[in-house]
Chain A
Amino acid sequence: MKLGLMKTCLIATTALLMLGTAAQAQGVRENYEPVTDEMLLNPPAEEWLMWRGNYANQGYSELDQINKDNVAGLQLAWAWPMADVGIQETAPLVHDGVMFLQTNNNIVEALDAKTGDRIWQYRHVLPELPAAWGYQLNQARRQKNSIALYGDKVILTTVDAKIVVLNAADGTVAWEKQVLDYQVGYSYTIGPLIVKDKIISAISGCSIAGTAGGCFILAHDANTGEELWRFNTIDDPNNPAQQESWGEVPAENRWGGTPWATGAYDPETNVTFWGVGMPGPYAELIRGSGDGSVLYTNSTLALDADTGELKWYYQHLPRDNWDLDSPFERILVSQEVDGKMANMVVSVPGKNGIAFGLDRDTGKYLWSKETVQQNVVTGIDPDGTVHINEDLISTAVGEAHLICTSVSGGKLWMAGSYSPKTQTFFVPLTEACNTVAPTQTEFTAGNAVGAVKFGPRVLPEGITEAGLVQALSVSPTEGDSKWQARSRPSMTSSLLATAGDLVFGGDAGRFVKAWDQETGEVLWEQRLNAPIGGYPMTYELDGEQYLVIPTGYSNAASSISSAFPEIPLPTGTGNSIFVFKLPAAK
């Protein structure tokens, strides 16, 4: 196997210093096989090449060696502590026998995927920010989920708003580019999407005061770093309806619209799909936008991958007053029905947990389905018009309303997965509510413009279990509940569906579980060292399937821990990955 070819040789520290990288002995992965466009279009089943495994963002693996008949026999192969103690939402990738593991602070480690030995590490040097920039400092310590593999490079987007391109063989910097100004608040908190020599990325930090007027999805040349296009999610000069939707508020007083989940890509139409977050300030009373829908916040955007031209948009939550943003993973689903292909975008896009099916080519609304308890959306018309509960809109500073779901979800960053085999969409969710009351604040550099006071997260009345895994049978006409698996602790990891008829994920109570895709029955569970986190994934090496489970601390674990006080969270972060496989055949 390929690992047999791997030689780990040490390079003198002085040589590394000359290259200007970390003064640390590093290994080299020789004869690393470049990642081609063809691999990205059709990822080998035994590898995990991008954030959610494929361009469709499905979080699904064709591997079936680990299946519902033998999953109970999983054993630990190896474990590894992450290089950073902060909040983590890691999405490990595997290619050519190498695992690329990144944490926040833009640390990347290359590990031997069979043994867990480190090959190299890259630590990005971040600028020091003033201590008074509290929100920006905290944002820089969270939400860093994925990196990208392309050719012989590893591509990361950094919290100081750079694209950094590393040589996959040894972790040295090939080139880097400052994309936007971190000094006004821009930062990357999600990883890029690679499409045909282009790095498509989306900036975060758009609710920080200095970034007024612009929040962007951008494309750069993957070889030169040249900017090819950018799309502003809160100021579109080509769409008068977008401008009117903000009422009298000019672009320089608009914030938000952060697309903080990596987009999907449809090679058939060359269109990329991105979700957009909430508006800022959160409350329309403070925002000044009246009853405007504040586009393109809480929308799905379909953009031409070559030009950034907007093909269509659909707004899942107009007139957001509660920070219930809708940026989460858009999943591309294609089903053959009566000899015709139905091409859909399927998603639980927003914190309020409502699932949507859209026509991928037109943006036409197909169906929706409520999951967790929510009180903000009162109905959705057959044409897709979303009606909100206007009784919950504060009309005075300090006027509080109890909003379900909470600012922490419902749905949060943890991604769902779609199994083409069972045509089922699995979504990790949390039952929660909180009060929201507008405040009138003076914005300061490095800090957020939300201008609301949130109450503590509480369970909806009558509910005692915070965690929910919702399985939805997906068709072009409906998303129908197949099963629900509830747990007292909140869900804290993304989900992984496999051809072994399993769904993997875990909760704040430190349990990783494997559910039967058909029934929701728990077929395996293992208690680990910390809340289950990040993006579980799987790969195969030398004929053996491996299952990777990240653990560690995240906002998803802490936000509603008061709902399950008998299951205390650890005070240590415990950020680690645990790698399981079946016992070796005798």
Chain B
Amino acid sequence: MFASKRLSKELTKLQDKLPPGIALVKADDFREWLMDIQVMDENPIYQGQTYRLKFTFSQSYPIEAPEVVFVRDESHPIPMHPHIYSNGIICLDLLDRQGWSPVHNVESVCVSLQSMLTSNTKNERPPGDDSFVRHNTQRPRDINFVFHDNAV
């Protein structure tokens, strides 16, 4: 109830107008949405690519952060970034319990991720990506990320 009221308002706004490089792909219900993002400037790492994001909302959204991951298919790779694992899990304080504020919304999360990619110059995965991707069985919200690197 709480979540759907807010999400329906967000949806109306998203359908009306979106910042450049962000597109709404699918929002059939109030549990899971798909968004596409593109990096708009000249950053060679992300040139000509479109990335797909999956938002999963709990009943208590926006009090609780949504779960946001990149998803891969034929036309959508997982972006290279030292804070993005190759299985699409994103390490960003904004999406964690501590950093989340209910004032954020789907659009602001997309914009934050866009700028996180734009400002990145390292064409690499996080350290330990291999073993994390192989062994991780937890959902993103249950992982205790340590946010030590504020530069990227």
Do A and B belong to a common assembly?
Answer: no
